[in-house]
Amino acid sequence: MPVYRRKSPFSDHPRRVLIAPDKFKGTLTSEAAARAIEKGLRRAWPKVKTTRIVLTDGGEGFMELMVRQTGGRIRTAKTIDAAGRPCQAKWGVLGNDRTAVIGLTSASGIAQLPARLLNPEKTTNLGTGELLAKAAAQGYREILIGLGGSATTEGGISLAKVIGYSFIDIDGSEIDLNGAGMTKLAGIVPPKHLPKAQFIVATDVDNPLFGPKGAAYQFAPQKGADAAMVKRLDAGLRRLARIVKRDLGKDLAKEPGAGAAGGCGYGLMAFFNAKRENGFQLVRRLTGLDTLVRQHDLVITGEGCFDRTSLLGKAPSQLGELARKLKRPVWALCGRVNLPLSRSPFDRIAALSTKQNPGPPPDSLSPTQHANRLEHLAYEEACEYSINRSCNRCVRQA
């Protein structure tokens, strides 16, 4: 009589797994999410070999990823945060030793400020501007700027001030270099000489500078702006665009990415002649991501919420498309999923929260609790995968 034996569910699994989640906004950093997923996989697949990388499209973790993957080095500098308080900020040099990389989040990020200091009419990017000026002064010919997670909505005027631009009001006095100051802008005086470096803006945000889809309406509320402030900030950004067009002859307000980081995308393009690149594609090109994907049997990514906006160029979706192009299976482990699997680039997708089982409110849990839940989700998905694979490969013995 034939006997059907099934292999152990934990013996049938991918040998090499690339773990590359984006941040779970408000709950877990990309690195914390990657560690949690790795722990879950190792519980299910003890012998699995894993590689963790921070997935970023220009925001949090951008500088660190670029430095680590290219064999570069991280530097620190004294500067100020978005509220003007002294701080130590990090910036990096890539392994080619000619390219500097600066993430806006290090000095000017919203995560650096307590809630009481969130006010996009007062916050500035002066600290990040000082890092840009330092990198240019040290002779780096290419400077990458990762945009995302900023605490500001001031069109990048404070970045430009550091390299010599003057922004004046109707009386010829310098305006405040913040969102409120923009509403008083009457003229722009450019410097005689710009830095010789080529500036490259990395962002996945395609928003224009102003309007319903612009920097103020789309992003200022999460930085502390109420409805009335949003209208004032949008008016200031419109004013900035008019005066840049008049005084500098540049019409860039509708360029994709102009609205990134409170208009810093626009400011860098207008004042630094920066070239904009999709953040994920820049990371892909400079870190050899294609080769890394090919070296693994499975790719796992994820983010806080997978919804229709995820398909508009966000890093997890782009990684999913890349993995499938390179014929590697790809999973997504997310906080929430608001789209069916058929509309995603993933072979498998799972979430901590569903309509049928929403779970506890995210703000009621600590980061450790969120990490534990994500670890368990990874464990469950790995176990289910192994069981299903083993069931489909039953060994028939006489």
Report percent pLDDT > 90 for the chain: 74
Read off the pLDDT band of 339 (50, 70, 90). Answer: confident
Which amino acid is residue 41, in one-letter code?
L
Give the tens place of pLDDT for each residue, 171-208: 999 999 999 999 999 999 999 999 999 999 998 888 99
Looking at residue 276, what is its pLDDT?
94
Report percent pLDDT > 70 for the chain: 95
Residues 161 and 129: beta-carbon distance below 8 Å: yes
Average pLDDT estimate for 128-138? 96
Minimal CA–CA distance to 96: which of 230, 225, 280, 288?
288
Residue 173 buriedness (CB in 10 A; 0-12 / 13-18 / 19+)? exposed
Which amino acid is residue 75, in one-letter code?
R
Which amino acid is residue 144, in one-letter code?
L
Is the CA virtual torsion 102, 107, 111, 112 positive or negative? Answer: positive
Residue 79's DSSP bridge partners are: 87
Cα 379 from Cα 48, distance rounded (Å): 13
Which amino acid is residue 142, in one-letter code?
E
CB atoms within 10 A of CB 153: 32
Give the tens place of pLDDT for each residue, 363-373: 788 999 999 99
Interhelix angle 30-44/367-391, nearest 10 degrees: 40
Higher pLDDT, 361 or 160: 160
Give the tens place of pLDDT for each residue, 284-319: 888 889 999 999 999 999 999 888 878 877 889 999
Please tell me whether the overall predicted TM-score, pTM, comes out greater than 0.85 for this model.
Answer: no
Residue partners of 231: CB distance under 8 A and separation at least 6: 216
Instruction: State whether residue 188 is helix, strand or coil.
Output: strand
Rounded mean pLDDT of the chain?
90
In the predicted model, is pLDDT for residue 106 greater than 50?
Answer: yes
Average pLDDT estimate for 9-27? 82
Cα 232 from Cα 225, distance rounded (Å): 10
Interhelix angle 315-325/279-287, nearest 10 degrees: 50
Read off the pLDDT band of 72 (50, 70, 90). Answer: very high
Higher pLDDT, 30 or 375: 375
Instruction: State whether residue 102 is helix, strand or coil.
Output: strand
In the predicted model, is pLDDT for residue 394 greater than 50?
Answer: no
Looking at residue 169, what is its pLDDT?
97
Read off the pLDDT band of 149 (50, 70, 90). Answer: confident
Residue 302, CB-side half-sphere exposure with 13 Å CA sphere: 37
Interhelix angle 279-287/62-70, nearest 10 degrees: 20
Phi, psi torsion values for 353, nearest 5 degrees: -125, 130
Read off the pLDDT band of 1 (50, 70, 90). Answer: very low
Cα 123 from Cα 154, distance rounded (Å): 8
DSSP alpha helices (H): ranges in the chain?
30-44, 62-70, 104-108, 126-137, 157-162, 179-182, 215-219, 227-248, 264-272, 279-287, 289-294, 315-325, 367-391
Looking at residue 392, what is its pLDDT?
55
Instruction: State whether residue 92 is helix, strand or coil.
Output: strand
Minimal CA–CA distance to 132: which of 103, 175, 154?
103
Read off the pLDDT band of 354 (50, 70, 90). Answer: confident
Cα 180 from Cα 200, distance rounded (Å): 27
